[in-house]
Amino acid sequence: EKVWSCKIPYENEDGVCFRYFYPDDNTTQYLYETYPMVVNPLDGVTNEHFVVWMRTAALPHFRKLYGYIEQTIPAGSTLTFNVMANFAVERSEGAKALVVSNTYIFGGQNPWLGNLFIIVGGIAAGLGLLFLAKELIAPRKIADKRYLRYKEE
């Protein structure tokens, strides 16, 4: 329960008390007026689900976490979801899907992250072997004056 009081600007001239106040309500159309089934006037844009949905994705194909289930679901269980599609995505050639997944230390299942670590590790190991082979074949003497450059005066 949010704490609120009937102090200005929550009380109008007639003494009616409001739980929220939006300045310039006569000249500005707020999100709760545009999307009344999505944005609650009490929460506004502080609603966690709305904030996550409106956050810009870095890549063209993305997943956004809507919520999570904090209990163990037995294998073979049937899950039922009530979904309200409030935003059309067909105009931007997008699609929506409901994905139920496990989460790990890095978030959801991201096979590309593990593959990236393996590729970068392989490149580093290959370069290390290349430099080792160069050092074994043609070693460089420590403090060799041929590799030092002095300013010419």
Give yes or no for residue 16 having a pLDDT over 60.
Answer: yes
Q: Are 95 and 89 in contact (CB under 8 A)?
A: yes
pTM above 0.95, yes or no: no
Tens of pLDDT, residues 63-88: 888 888 888 889 899 999 888 777 77
Q: Are 14 and 28 in contact (CB under 8 A)?
A: no
Tokens of 61: 């194909």
DSSP letters, 112-147, are HHHHHHHHHHHHHHHHHHHHHHHHHHS---TT-GGG
DSSP state at residue 128: H
Tens of pLDDT, residues 128-141: 999 999 999 988 88
